[in-house]
């Protein structure tokens, strides 16, 4: 398995947009992104902090992306 890189929320949103996801709503510090085919996930938006490895893994699982897509 490929080691996951450190990714900030802003970078993760840019990657998701590049793969066809759009922010559909934001509640507090969490943005919900959705793809036209129905895939969706929540990205915590905490400035200056990298996403936790478990959170990043769950986002990749929800969106069906791979670590190579990062």
- Dihedral in degrees, nearest 10, Cα atoms 65, 66, 67, 69: -60
- So what's the pLDDT on residue 14? 97
**Which residue in the block uniquely carries the two structure tokens 């986002």?**
59
- So what's the pLDDT on residue 58? 97
**Over 70: is that where the pLDDT of 1 sits?**
no
Structural domain count of the chain: 1
**Over 80: is that where the pLDDT of 26 sits?**
yes
Residue at 48 is within a domain? yes
pLDDT in tens, 28-65: 999 999 999 999 999 999 998 999 999 999 999 999 99
Q: How confident is the model at residue 3 (pLDDT cuts 50, 70, 90)?
A: confident
Question: Which CATH number goes with the domain that contains 65?
Answer: 3.30.920.30
Residue at 1 is within a domain? no
Each as own residue / partner, the long-range contacts of residues 9-12 (CB below 8 Å, 24 or more positions apart, any chain) are 9/43, 9/44, 9/45, 9/46, 9/47, 9/49, 9/51, 12/43, 12/51, 12/56, 12/59
Q: Which range marks the domain in which residue 30 is found? A: 9-69
């Amino acid at each position: 398995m490929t080691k996951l890189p450190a990714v900030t929320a802003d970078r993760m949103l840019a990657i998701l947009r590049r793969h066809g996801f759009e922010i559909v709503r934001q509640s507090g510090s969490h943005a919900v992104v959705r793809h036209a085919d129905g895939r969706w996930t929540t990205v915590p938006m905490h400035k200056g902090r990298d996403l936790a490895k478990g959170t990043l893994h769950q986002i990749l699982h929800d969106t069906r992306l791979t670590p190579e897509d990062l």
